[in-house]
Structure formats: C-alpha cells, structure tokens
Amino acid sequence: MLDHASSFDASPAARQPLPLTESAGARTLLITIALGFLLLFLLLPLIVVFAEVLRLGFDSYWAALREPEALAAIRLTLLTALIVVPFNAVFGIAAAWAITKFQFAGQNLLITLVDLPFSVSPVIGGMVFVLLFGLQGVFGPWLAAHDIKIIFAIPGVIIATLFVTLPFVARELIPLMQKQGTDCEEAALMLGASGWQTLFRVTLPNIKWGLLYGVLLCNGRAIGEFGAVAVVSGHIVGHTTTMPLYIEVLYNDFNFPAAFAVASLLTLIAFATLILRTILEWRAEQRLASSRLH
C-alpha cells in the first residue's frame, strides 16, 4: 500500500495528485458514468431550455418577456432579492459574530436554529407563515383589523423568501470566523478603535470573500425559491407571482414559449451566479496559496 494519508491536505490548492491505482478500464468507466450522468441530468435540460428559446425565434422570445405580467414577475423577483439579500447579510454577520466572538448561554441552540430552514421543506416554511399571518392565523384578525395584508401579498412573498434563505450567509461565515478567532478584533480594540471601527476596518475586510460568497448563494436561492413562496403568494398574476411562480402559471396554461422564455432568463441568472462563485472560489484558493508561500 502506498501512503496516501501523508499527501492529503484539507485545502484543494495544496492537494497532491494521488498515485493512481485503478486500471485504465476502470478509470474510463468511472469517468464515463460521471460525465454521462452530468450530461443527462444537468446539461441536457439546460440545452433544451435554450434550444426551445432559439426554435421559437428571438422576436417571440422578446415579446414574451415584454408582457406586463412577465415584467411584473421580474420586478417582484428583483425586489424580493433586493430586500432579502441585504437583510440576510446583516443577520448573517450578526449571528456569526455573536456565535464566534462571544460565549453565551443558548449558543448551540442558535446554531441549530440558524440551520432550521435547511432541514424543513420550504412548503412547511410557507405554511407556517399562513398559520401565523393568514386570516385564520394567530395574528390574522389583528392584521385584518389594521388593514395589513401579508399572506397573498408581496410582504408574504418577501417573508417566506427571508425564511428560506436565512442560513446562507451565517453558515458561510461561522466556520470562517471561528477559524480566525478574536485576536484581530482584540488587537484593534486595544489600539483604541471603537466597536464600529473594528467591524468596518478589521472584521469585514477579513471576512469579505466569505461574505460575498454567502451573499451570492443567498441571492441565487432568493431569486429561484418556489415552494415557500408558492404557498403564501396566492398566484395573483402580475401582482404576487415571482419569476418561478410565473413560469409555473404559464406552463399550466400551456403557454410553453413564454414559460421557456422566462425560464431561460432565470437560468442565465443561475449561470452568472455559478461563474461568479467559481471566480470567488478561485480567488480564495489563490489567497490561500500566496499565504502559504511564506
């Protein structure tokens, strides 16, 4: 047996190629299975989406996107992301800061709670808000009396999306900040910096790449979320339908060209996210490699 363990390292940048032990046949088979699977389940559907768009022609594609309802859906999706992402970024930083820089009772509970939206189905997330804010819900009568509409309205869409995307930034930052410890913050404070100065000049620059990565993931999910939003939105076309919901509406109406047009737009956003993410990961590796040089 060759000693594999000694060449293993947690970071991809420093990983050495392992001596190959499999035969050429086995290797080919494994690669074929993996690539074939990717092709069939990931690439093919994407190709179909864009092929469909091309087949319909650019004019009808453009027309489908210029529909007032389509524009409303795009606007609502962007609005949701615009509210949810900054909110979750702030929450994520606050939660990660609290968990990693202080010791307090209920710390582990907070970590578990942050993860909750990942472990329950988004539909349940949506249902919870219906139970809370719906007409028959806990706060329903009070909201109705004050003429505030949350469920089947835009606030509901935003709240449901908030719930589903809550963990992304915090999850990204907690391990990072745990690794970094509190030395830099203590050093800054001892040099006379105020709490805010420490946050903006020391902590945020230290975590900026992790934060950006978390924001990107959060944004992707906020734009693409379907389950939770479907429950609370009420599918009022042109008013409470986000892009994913609008695609479903179009699809159920057998309006396939328009459905594919909006779907392609959503896919493009996902692609952009993927590319940005790869760049960020590459950058992080570069930084790691350069800090290892010394």
Partner 1 sequence: MRIEVKELTKQFEHTLVLDRINLEIQEKEFLGLLGPSGSGKTTLLRIIAGLESPDGGVVEADGRDVSTLGFEERKFGFVFQHYALFNHMTVFENVAFGMKVRPRGARPDKQAIADRVKELLELVQLGEFEDRFPAQLSGGQRQRVALARTLTIDPQVLLLDEPFGALDAKVRVELRRSLRNIHDATGLTTIFVTHDQEEALDLADRVAIMNHGVIEQVGAPVEVYESPKTPFIFDFLGHTNSFDCVIRHGKARLGDKELNVEPGIPDGPGVAFVRPHDIVLSRANDPEPTQDAKLPDTAIMRFVSARGQRAAVELLYGKRLIEAEVSRERLNELRLSVGDKCTIRLRLPRIYAKRDAEKQTGIGERAAPRPRFRKRLRSRLGGTL
Which residues contact partner 1 (rule: CB under 8 A)?
A: 183-184, 186-194, 197, 201-202, 205-206, 290-291, 293-294
Using the minimum distance from each CB to partner 1, give the nearer residue, 13 or 193: 193
Question: What is the rounded distance in angstroms from the CA atom of residue 285 to the CA atom of residue 290?
Answer: 9
Burial class (CB in 10 A: 0-12, 13-18, 19+), 140: middle
The token pair that represents 17 in the structure block: 């190629």
Question: What is the rounded distance in angstroms from the CA atom of residue 287 to the CA atom of residue 196?
Answer: 26
Question: What is the rounded distance in angstroms from the CA atom of residue 293 to the CA atom of residue 221?
Answer: 36
At CB < 8 A and 24+ separation, what contacts does 184-188 make? 185/101
Minimum distance from residue 190 beta carbon to partner 1 (Å): 5
Using the minimum distance from each CB to partner 1, give the nearer residue, 79 or 189: 189
Q: Are 69 and 247 in contact (CB under 8 A)?
A: no
Minimum distance from residue 109 beta carbon to partner 1 (Å): 19
Minimum distance from residue 19 beta carbon to partner 1 (Å): 30
Using the minimum distance from each CB to partner 1, give the nearer residue, 112 or 290: 290
Using the minimum distance from each CB to partner 1, give the nearer residue, 19 or 192: 192
Minimum distance from residue 184 beta carbon to partner 1 (Å): 5
The token pair that represents 181 in the structure block: 């410890």
Using the minimum distance from each CB to partner 1, give the nearer residue, 84 or 93: 93
Using the minimum distance from each CB to partner 1, give the nearer residue, 148 or 204: 204
Minimum distance from residue 103 beta carbon to partner 1 (Å): 10
Minimum distance from residue 275 beta carbon to partner 1 (Å): 25
Minimum distance from residue 183 beta carbon to partner 1 (Å): 4
Q: What are phi and psi of 84, to 5 degrees?
A: -70, -45
Using the minimum distance from each CB to partner 1, give the nearer residue, 75 or 292: 292
